[in-house]
């Protein structure tokens, strides 16, 4: 609906009905006054009629005038009022001719009539009435003639213009009044329109908390007709849990502590459902700052809340069993331990692992395995108290957190958990007995970190597993043997990879003939926060065991290529010509068997801009011989990328010569153990000789590693020309010590690193 027409239908204003009411009543008032005037003048200066007649007629006029106050002026057309004018004027004339002939009353009555015209009619109507006025004024005077007539005619010169001017002035004033009135009405109508048609719910709330007015949208959100809500206390629709907070905010608004507030709360709808709304509250104050009423705007956010609640639930529950997941369990554990610490209570954490689940899973199929897990979850839940927390920690592992009075109570809980598995889980397509290995750890009364309690329970569970299926072990301090240390280390290693505690050191290898630098090998180290710099021997195996090697290896590869590219750029800046030294990176067996490995190599090369032909990958002989067939395929793909391949620690594994021939490698790195005793009386010389011969036969380059003494170098030189690596030439160092480019010869490297060390 157009707001203009809305303003029109609002009833007052445009059509001037209000001004008609005002003017009509003014006219009535004027009529009353005129009659009073006539009565007064007749009483003061007695005229033709008897006083009684004047009083009677005057009183009748007074009554008519007073009664006309209630005439429905707004319904009378303006023209009707206008047609009354000549009649009135004629009546004055007749009254004058046949009445008391008081010229003062005569002229004053005309003035009053024009006041009436001004009040009831539009502008210019008094002016247009001038001829009628002239006739009405002059004719009676001419009719009566004589001295009074001629004196009266003279008065027409100022009475007539005075009547017209006064009438015009009043009409103008009335039209201004009507315009202002229209504007106010329009403003009110548009505000009302906004209020009624607003898509958000708006309410006006008294300071007593009751609805004064609500719009349609507000009613819709609450499921009531807006009129039904008026006068009702808003809090009776608010969810009981939100009432206190809502009241507090309203209190703050009223005291002026807050100008406005935004708040999410629940309303109870007429149909009994709850609806989430976002409320914007503000207060309207009077001239002296006193609160008059409150304005509330609400928006239905139920869908959004439901969605976010669902998302939050998904984030913390295990979709298979519907139990809390690891994240939620850890949160609960943390809070429980915190409470336990302050209250001195003891918590038991149990790690439950299904025995031989892998076998079961493989045997009955994954789908059935999932159903089994679900049923186990239900049974465990049934065996626990409502205050205990059961979670699916991952795979076939469940965790339980419960408050206990001591070890005896733990026994009781464990007995209940086991009893819940006493009968086979029967499904239409399988029947399966389940046994649990359970590790339990109890919190110290003085407080305990969640991770420590978890680790202890995990260690206890492994102990239980070692004892055989269906066993249960309570963790004791001294249990942390190898398994515990390993577990801790693996946790720390996870963090190390993420928190950049790993660093690469670089060891050069050289051409023995002229001591020029052929390349550098990247060797990883772990800057352990407590134990200092750890060599790879301390953590590579562990990284393999806990499945971190792929991530760790990718980091090494990326970092080494980045460093290689940096050195190449430094070399270009320094204007050093010739082929830049190569970069060697060790690759572990797990990396090699990772299906995404070649993609990682390719993307690292693109990312770092390091040329593939300068990259060497060193793979241990053992790793290659695990599954030579698969290795050949991967190595081929790697060669297609343009990178070079070397067999590391050659001689320690059991290379089949036929495979060796088919492997697309280009160099053999003779293991340090054969170099170690080269300068002594040993068989090693013969072995090295054989490897050199093999290399020659297969067209492979030979690298000797672990050269520590000049005597070893001399011995090697007598067997041929080698690329060599060892402490004799340089130890692995931090790249910062090498500088921004690699030197051409090993003496340059030494000078560089010594210089930096000073």
Interface residues with ligand C2E (CB under 6 A) are 507, 523-524, 535-537, 540, 553, 556, 586-588, 618, 648-649, 672, 705-708, 725-727, 732
Q: Is 621 in the site for Mg ion (CB under 5 A)?
A: no
> Contact region for Mg ion (CB under 5 A) — 96-104, 204-212, 249-257, 618-626?
618-626
Exposed/middle/buried for residue 643 (C-beta within 10 Å: 0-12, 13-18, 19+) = buried
Toward ligand C2E, which CB reaches closer, 448 or 524? 524
| 391 φ/ψ angles, rounded to the nearest 5 degrees | -135, 155
Query: Given the complex with ligand C2E, which of 726 and 743 has the nearer CB atom?
Result: 726
Smallest distance, Å, CB 649 to Mg ion? 4
Residue 347: name the closest of 417, 441, 415 by CA: 441
Question: Nearest approach, Cβ of 560 to Mg ion (angstroms)?
Answer: 12
The smaller minimum CB distance to ligand C2E, of residues 441 and 707, is found at 707
Using CB under 5 A as the binding rule, whether residue 618 contacts Mg ion is answered as yes
Select 318 or 649, whichever has its Cβ closest to Mg ion.
649
- Tell the smallest beta-carbon distance from residue 504 to ligand C2E (Å): 7
Q: Where does this chain touch Mg ion (CB under 5 A) — which range of 141-149, 380-388, 393-401, 582-590? A: 582-590
Candidate segments 25-33, 171-179, 617-625, 736-744, binder of Mg ion by CB under 5 A? 617-625
723-725 and 502-511 as β-strands: parallel, antiparallel, unpaired?
A: antiparallel
Pairing mode, strands 397-404 and 389-394: antiparallel
The H or E element spanning position 655 is none
Buried b / exposed e along 467-489 (16+ C-beta atoms within 10 A) = eeeebbbbbeeebbeeebebbeb
Q: Which is nearer to Mg ion, 318 or 648 (CB)?
A: 648
Segment lying near Mg ion (by CB under 5 A), choices 130-138, 160-168, 583-591, 680-688: 583-591
- Nearest distance from residue 686's CB to ligand C2E, in Å? 21
Rounded to 5 degrees, φ, ψ at 661 are: -65, -35
Nearer CB in complex with Mg ion: 99/695 = 695
Q: What is the 3-state secondary structure (H, E, C) of 122-142?
A: CCCHHHHCHHHHHHHHHHHHH
# chain residues binding Mg ion, by CB under 5 A: 4
Name, in order, each residue with C-beta under 8 angstroms of 38's C-beta and a sequence gap of 6 or more. 54, 58, 61, 105
78 binds, among ligand C2E, Mg ion, none (CB under 5 to 8 A by kind): none
**Of the two residues 484 and 706, which places its CB atom closer to ligand C2E in the complex?**
706
Question: In DSSP terms, which residues pair with 206 in a beta bridge?
Answer: 293
Taking CB within 5 to 8 Å according to partner kind, which of ligand C2E, Mg ion, none is near residue 377?
A: none
Minimum Å distance from CB 722 to ligand C2E? 14
The count of other CB atoms within 10 Å of the CB of residue 501 is: 16
User: Whose Cβ is closer to ligand C2E: residue 388's or residue 551's?
Assistant: 551
Q: Which stretch binds Mg ion (CB under 5 A): 128-136, 274-282, 491-499, 649-657?
A: 649-657
Count Cβ atoms below 10 Å from residue 286 Cβ, excluding itself: 9
Task: For ligand C2E, give the closer residue by CB, 31 or 616.
Answer: 616
Question: 412 and 362 in contact (C-beta within 8 Å)?
Answer: no
Among 186, 242, 649, 684, binds Mg ion (CB under 5 A): 649
Hey, what are 640's tokens? 């297609």
Q: What is the 3-state secondary structure (H, E, C) of 314-360?
A: HHHECCCCCCECHHHHHHHHHHHHHHHHHHCCEEEEEEEEECCHHHH
- Order of strands, sheet of 346-354, starting from the edge strand that comes earlier in the sequence: 389-394, 397-404, 346-354, 436-442, 472-474
Q: Tell which residue, 582, 619, 585, has the closest CA to residue 505.
A: 585
Q: What does 537 bind: ligand C2E, Mg ion, none (CB cut-off 5 to 8 Å by kind)?
A: ligand C2E
- Surface-to-core class of residue 1, CB atoms within 10 Å of its CB (0-12 exposed, 13-18 middle, 19+ buried): exposed
Judged by CB under 5 A, which of 318, 648, 684, 715 binds Mg ion? 648
Q: Which is nearer to ligand C2E, 540 or 668 (CB)?
A: 540
CB of 666 to ligand C2E, least distance (A): 17
Among 448, 479, 449, residue whose Cα is nearest residue 461: 479
Round to whole Å and give the CA distance between 304 and 310: 10
Q: Cβ of residue 522: shortest distance to Mg ion, in angstroms?
A: 9
φ, ψ of residue 506 to 5 degrees: the values are -125, 135
Q: How far is the CB of 514 from ligand C2E (least distance, A)?
A: 20
Q: Is 484 or 519 the residue whose CB approaches Mg ion more closely?
A: 519
Beta-carbon-side half-sphere exposure of residue 267 (alpha carbons within 13 Å): 25
Minimum CB separation from ligand C2E for residue 671, in Å? Answer: 7
Residue 376, classified by CB atoms within 10 Å of its CB into exposed (0-12), middle (13-18) or buried (19+), is buried
Which residues 80-99 are close enough to bind Mg ion by CB under 5 A? none
Minimal distance, residue 523 CB to Mg ion, in Å: 7
Nearer to Mg ion, 186 or 649 (CB): 649
Q: List the single partner that 519 binds among ligand C2E, Mg ion, none, CB under 5 to 8 Å by kind.
A: none
Least distance to ligand C2E from the beta carbon of 653, Å? Answer: 13
Binding interface with Mg ion (CB under 5 A): 586, 618, 648-649
């Amino acid at each position: 609906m157009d707001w203009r027409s809305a303003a029109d239908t609002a009833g007052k204003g445009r059509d001037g009905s209000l001004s008609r009411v005002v003017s009509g009543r003014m006219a009535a008032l004027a009529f009353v006054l005129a009659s009073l005037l006539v009565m007064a003048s007749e009483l003061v200066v007695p005229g033709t009629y008897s006083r009684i007649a004047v009083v009677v007629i005057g009183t009748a006029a007074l009554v008519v005038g007073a009664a006309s106050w209630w005439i429905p002026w707004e319904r009378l057309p303006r023209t009707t009022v206008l047609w009354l004018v000549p009649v009135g004027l004629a009546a004055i004339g007749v009254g004058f001719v046949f009445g008391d002939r008081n010229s003062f009353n005569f002229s004053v009555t005309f003035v009053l009539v024009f006041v009436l015209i001004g009040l009831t009619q539009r502008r210019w109507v008094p002016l247009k009435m001038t001829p009628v006025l002239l006739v009405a004024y002059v004719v009676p005077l001419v009719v009566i003639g004589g001295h009074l007539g001629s004196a009266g005619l003279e008065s027409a010169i100022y009475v007539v213009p005075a009547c017209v001017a006064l009438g015009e002035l009043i009409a103008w004033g009335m039209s201004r009044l009507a315009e202002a009135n229209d504007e106010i009405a329009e403003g009110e109508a548009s505000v009302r329109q906004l209020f009624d048609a607003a898509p958000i719910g708006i309410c006006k709330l008294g300071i007593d908390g009751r609805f004064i007015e609500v719009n349609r949208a507000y009613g819709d959100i609450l499921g009531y007709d807006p009129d039904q809500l008026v006068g009702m206390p808003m809090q009776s629709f608010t969810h009981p849990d939100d009432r206190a907070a809502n009241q507090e905010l309203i209190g703050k608004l009223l005291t002026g502590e807050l100008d406005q507030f935004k708040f999410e709360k629940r309303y109870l709808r007429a149909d009994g459902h709850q609806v989430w709304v976002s409320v914007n509250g503000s207060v309207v104050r009077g001239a002296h700052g006193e609160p008059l009423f409150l304005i509330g705007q609400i928006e239905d956010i139920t869908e959004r809340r439901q969605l976010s609640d669902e998302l939050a639930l998904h984030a913390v529950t295990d979709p298979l069993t519907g139990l809390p997941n690891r994240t939620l369990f850890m949160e609960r554990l943390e809070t429980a331990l915190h409470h336990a610490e302050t209250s001195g209570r003891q918590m038991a954490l149990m790690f439950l692992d299904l025995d031989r689940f892998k076998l079961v899973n493989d045997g009955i199929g994954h789908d059935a395995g999932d159903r089994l897990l679900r049923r186990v979850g239900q049974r465990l839940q049934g065996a626990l108290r409502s205050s205990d927390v059961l979670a699916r920690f991952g795979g076939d592992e469940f965790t339980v957190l419960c408050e206990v009075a001591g070890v005896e109570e733990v026994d009781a809980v464990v007995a209940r958990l086991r009893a819940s598995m006493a009968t086979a889980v029967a499904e239409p397509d399988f029947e399966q007995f389940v046994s649990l290995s359970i590790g339990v750890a109890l919190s110290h009364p003085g407080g305990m970190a969640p991770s420590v309690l978890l680790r202890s329970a995990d260690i206890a569970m492994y102990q239980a597993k070692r004892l055989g299926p269906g066993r249960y072990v309570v963790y004791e301090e001294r249990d942390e043997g190898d398994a515990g240390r390993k577990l801790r280390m693996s946790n720390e290693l996870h963090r190390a990879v993420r928190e950049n505690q790993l660093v690469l050191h670089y060891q050069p290898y050289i051409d023995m003939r002229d001591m020029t630098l052929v390349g550098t090998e990247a060797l990883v180290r772990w800057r352990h926060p407590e134990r200092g710099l750890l060599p790879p021997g301390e953590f590579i195996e562990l990284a393999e065991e806990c499945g971190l090697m792929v991530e760790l290896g990718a980091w090494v590869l990326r970092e080494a290529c980045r460093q290689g590219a940096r050195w190449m750029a430094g070399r270009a800046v320094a204007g050093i010509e010739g082929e830049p030294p190569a970069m060697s990176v060790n690759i572990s067996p797990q990396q090699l068997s990772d299906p995404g490995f070649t993609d990682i190599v390719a993307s690292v090369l693109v990312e770092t801009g390091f040329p593939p032909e300068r990259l060497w990958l060193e793979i241990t002989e053992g790793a290659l011989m695990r599954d030579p067939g698969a290795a050949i395929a991967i190595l081929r793909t790697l060669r297609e990328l343009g990178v070079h391949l070397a067999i590391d620690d050659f001689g320690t594994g059991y290379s089949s010569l036929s495979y060796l021939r088919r492997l697309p490698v280009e160099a053999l790195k003779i293991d340090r153990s054969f170099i170690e005793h080269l300068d002594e009386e040993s068989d090693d010389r013969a072995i090295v000789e054989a490897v050199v011969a093999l290399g020659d036969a297969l067209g492979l380059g030979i690298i000797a590693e672990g050269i520590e003494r000049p005597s070893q170098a001399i011995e090697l030189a007598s067997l041929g020309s080698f690329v060599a690596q060892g402490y004799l030439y340089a130890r692995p160092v931090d790249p910062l010590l090498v500088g921004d480019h690699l030197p051409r010869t090993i003496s340059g490297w030494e000078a560089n690193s010594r210089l930096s060390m000073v």
